[in-house]
Amino acid sequence: MCLRALPNALSALRLIIAILAVYAYTVTVNGLVIVLALSVGIVTDVLDGFIARAQNVESVLGHRLDIIADACCFGILPCVYIVERQQSRFADAVCVLFVFYGLARIGAGWRCAGIPLPLLGCLLFATYYIALLPSVRIFVAAVLIAVAFASIAIERRRRTS
C-alpha cells in the first residue's frame, strides 16, 4: 500500500471496526468489545493524523473521513453501551445530547470546534463502564456534556473575534 493512502486507510479501518463492534456487542453484550474497539480507534485516530501531517498528504476526503470515523467510533459506540447497560431515561438523554454535541461541533466547511469527540466519547464511556454509583454517573455525565457544549461556544467566539 502506498504510504500516501495509509491515513485514509486507517480512518476507514476505524469506521469498519466501529460498525463491527456495534454488531459484536449486540450479540455478546460484552463491554470488552467496546473497550477493544475504542482502544483500536484511539490508536488509528492518532496515527492517521500523524502520518498525514508528516507525509504532507492531508486532504479534504481524509479530513471528512476522519470526522465520520470519529463519530462512529467515539460517538456511537459509547452510546450503544450506555443505552444497552443503563436502560434509563437519563442514559437515553445523555446519548441524545452527546449525538447533538457531535453534530454541533461540525461547523461550516467541516471545521470542528470544542472538545475532540474521541476524548469526550472515551470519558463518557469510562464514566459508565467503571462501577460508579448512579448519582455519580449522572453528575459526571452532566458536567462532561455541559463543558463540551460550552467549549464549542468559547472556541467559535474566539474564531470570530
> What is the domain-level CATH number for residue 84?
1.20.120
Q: For residue range 63-114, what is the model confidence (pLDDT) as tens digits?
A: 889 888 988 898 888 888 888 877 778 888 888 888 888 888 777 677 777 7
Domain that holds residue 14: 3-160
The pLDDT score that the predictor gives to residue 13 is: 95
The domain tally of the chain equals 1
Q: Which of 108, 114, 113, 144 is nearest to 126 (CA)?
A: 144
Residue at 130: amino acid letter = I
Q: Which of 48, 93, 56 is nearest to 73 (CA)?
A: 48
Q: How confident is the model at residue 57 (pLDDT cuts 50, 70, 90)?
A: confident
